[in-house]
């Protein structure tokens, strides 16, 4: 069988797609472009209306280019609005997030021979795809899913369910498999990663997980994915600062620089708390990159609120920003809030924040120009990503998935 996987959204979805990929490969399937595939899996996101639209457009485009294709749709949009998804052309099955780990078992058993290896739902067939599959040099490992933090704008607790963590010993086993498969970098991810272990019977926490990874004996770099500010504790910062195994790279969603807006969003911290956290990280790791997310145009956002946000951002030594124009998600508290911000104003404010983000990125790169950092060669061998998350173009081609010392350009 020929298959293709199209992934939208966050690193958790990327990790899920790698797991599905491993299941296909274990059964002898062959990866091809979507227009050549017998089966296409579309792993959707639903964080914004734009994400929903992107999934719909992709499914329609695949069906036009490949009229006989069978499309399986999973992910957050498929979970939130299955009735909309199943009506799209060539969709033969909609698999909610609750069944995603066993997607091949519940959708396509009849498409493989009876002698094919079974998909066990936990690191498919006990295997890990090798570096380079699906264009991924680093491995993305999901250690947690679901979220109990009910932000007023977010639909993800509905589409992903309550927080659920992998036991630490299972995570350790997954890491061993990834290292054995040849990975030099592993991104640790979760829907609410900072809540890791809260649902487990033992004493596992995010800190105990990072402590275990910080002492890993093999030459591998662990990149901790997005953390809520209140979960990035002094212990977590100290562990990252003291170990070469943990990348000096943090992604900490601020979402807004106005405390009034943060309260309306039900974010449990203040702009001052966030600024102090960033200061603590920079003091412990002066070379660390720190990225953030910002929501623009939340209901009730005034010019004064927006100006507060711009002012707060200008004082932060961040390396990059992800900007999200606010989008109503049906069923969330924020979707019922008023007044709504005009769409043209949201676009203008988003443009200004993106420009500020570009300035931050330029400032961060300029501050590190000429320094030499450990970096992993990616893509076609002409690029590498440093431990502190700077992508550099190489003067000489190097072997993909190898460590080099890279000089950051002036």
SS (H, E, C) the chain: CEEEEEECCCHHHHHHHHHHHHHHHHCCCEECCHHHCCEEEEEECCCCHHHHHHHHHHHHHHHHHCCCCEEEEEEHHHHHCHHHHHCCCCEEEEECHHHHHHHHHHHCHHHCCCCCCCCCCCCHHHCCCCCCHHHCCCEEEEEEECCCCCCCCCCHHHHHCCCEECCHHHHHHHHHHHHHCCCCEEEEEECCHHHCCCCCCCCCCHHHHHHHHHCCCCCCEEEECCCCHHHCCHHHHHHHHHCCCECCEEECCCECCCHHHHHHHCCCCCHHHHHHHHHHHHHHCCCCEEEEEEEECCCCCCHHHHHHHHHHHHCCCCCEEEEEECCCCCCCCHHHCCCCCCHHHHHHHHHHHHHHHHHHHHHHHHHCCCCEEEEEEECCCCEEEECCCCEEECCCCCCCCCEEEEECCC
pLDDT of the residue at 125: 35
Confidence of residue 116 (pLDDT cuts 50, 70, 90): very low
pLDDT of the residue at 232: 97
Fold agreement between 2-111 and 136-247: no
Tokens representing 178 are: 């990834």
Predicted model pTM? 0.91
Q: Strand 372-378 vs strand 320-325: parallel, antiparallel, or unpaired?
A: unpaired
Confidence of residue 240 (pLDDT cuts 50, 70, 90): very high
**Domain spans in the chain, listed from the N-terminal domain onward:** 2-111, 136-247, 372-407
- How is domain 2-111 classified at the architecture level of CATH? 3-Layer(aba) Sandwich (3.40)
Confidence of residue 410 (pLDDT cuts 50, 70, 90): confident
**Residue 240 or residue 126, greater confidence:** 240
What is the average pLDDT across 367-392? 96
**Smallest Cα–Cα separation from 207: which of 149, 153, 257, 246?**
246
| Cα 223 to Cα 237: distance, rounded to the nearest angstrom | 13
What is the average pLDDT across 142-147? 96
Tokens representing 166 are: 């992998």
Average pLDDT taken over every residue of the chain: 93
pLDDT of the residue at 111: 62
Confidence of residue 123 (pLDDT cuts 50, 70, 90): very low
**Smallest Cα–Cα separation from 96: which of 160, 48, 15, 9?**
160
Confidence of residue 91 (pLDDT cuts 50, 70, 90): very high
pLDDT of the residue at 39: 95
| Cα 407 to Cα 409: distance, rounded to the nearest angstrom | 6
pLDDT of the residue at 135: 78
- How is domain 136-247 classified at the architecture level of CATH? 2-Layer Sandwich (3.30)
- pLDDT tens readout for residues 303-331: 999 999 999 999 999 999 999 999 999 99
Per the omega criterion (within 30 degrees of 0), is the bond before 339 cis?
Answer: yes
**Residue 133 or residue 87, greater confidence:** 87
| pLDDT at 141 > cutoff 50 | yes
pLDDT of the residue at 108: 58
pLDDT of the residue at 322: 97
| pLDDT at 146 > cutoff 90 | yes
pLDDT of the residue at 134: 72
| Cα 169 to Cα 175: distance, rounded to the nearest angstrom | 10
Q: Which of 19-23, 250-254, 365-369 has the lowest mean pLDDT?
A: 19-23
- pLDDT tens readout for residues 36-74: 999 999 999 999 999 999 999 999 999 999 999 999 999
| pLDDT at 235 > cutoff 50 | yes
Q: 139 — phi, psi (to 5°)?
A: -100, 135
CB-based contacts of 85-88 (< 8 A; 24+ apart in sequence) = 85/44, 85/55, 85/59, 88/56, 88/59, 88/60, 88/63
- pLDDT tens readout for residues 4-32: 999 999 999 999 999 999 999 988 899 99
| Cα 8 to Cα 55: distance, rounded to the nearest angstrom | 8
| pLDDT at 210 > cutoff 90 | yes
């Amino acid at each position: 069988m020929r298959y293709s996987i199209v992934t939208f959204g966050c690193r958790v979805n990327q990790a899920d797609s790698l797991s599905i990929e491993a299941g296909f490969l274990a059964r002898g399937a062959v990866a091809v472009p979507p227009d050549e595939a017998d089966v296409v899996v579309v792993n959707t996101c639903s964080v914004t209306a734009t994400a929903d639209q992107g999934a719909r457009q992709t499914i329609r485009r695949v069906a036009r280019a490949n009229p006989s294709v069978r499309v399986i749709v999973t992910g957050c949009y498929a979970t939130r609005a299955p009735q909309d998804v199943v009506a799209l052309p060539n969709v033969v099955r909609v698999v909610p997030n609750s069944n995603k780990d066993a997607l091949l078992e519940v959708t396509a058993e009849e498409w493989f021979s009876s002698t094919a290896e079974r998909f066990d739902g936990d690191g498919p067939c006990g295997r890990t795809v090798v570096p380079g599959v699906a264009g991924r040099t680093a491995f993305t490992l999901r250690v947690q899913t679901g979220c109990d933090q009910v932000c007023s704008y977010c639909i993800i607790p509905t589409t992903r369910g309550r927080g659920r963590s992998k036991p630490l010993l299972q995570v350790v086993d997954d890491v061993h498999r990834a290292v054995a498969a040849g990975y030099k970098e592993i991104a640790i991810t979760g829907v609410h990663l900072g809540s890791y272990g809260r649902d487990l019977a033992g004493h596992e926490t995010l800190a105990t997980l990072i402590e275990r990874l910080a002492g890993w004996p093999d030459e591998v770099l662990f990149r901790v994915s997005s953390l809520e500010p209140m979960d990035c504790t002094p212990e977590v910062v100290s562990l990252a600062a003291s170990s070469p195994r943990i990348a000096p790279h943090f992604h900490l969603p601020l979402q807004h620089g106005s405390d009034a807006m943060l309260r309306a969003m039900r974010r449990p911290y203040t702009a001052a708390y966030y600024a102090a956290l960033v200061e603590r990280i920079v003091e412990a790791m002066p070379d660390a990159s720190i990225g953030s997310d910002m929501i623009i145009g939340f209901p009730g956002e005034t010019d004064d609120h927006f100006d507060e946000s711009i002012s707060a951002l200008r004082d932060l030594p961040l390396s990059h920003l992800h900007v999200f124009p606010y989008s109503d998600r049906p069923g969330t508290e924020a979707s019922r809030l008023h007044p709504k911000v005009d769409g043209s104003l949201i676009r203008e404010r988003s443009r200004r924040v993106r420009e500020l983000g570009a300035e931050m990125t330029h400032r961060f790169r300029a501050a590190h120009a000429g320094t030499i950092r450990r970096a992993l060669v990616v893509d076609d061998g002409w690029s590498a990503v440093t431990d502190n998350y700077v992508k550099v173009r190489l003067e000489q081609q190097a072997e993909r998935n190898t460590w080099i010392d890279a000089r950051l350009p002036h």
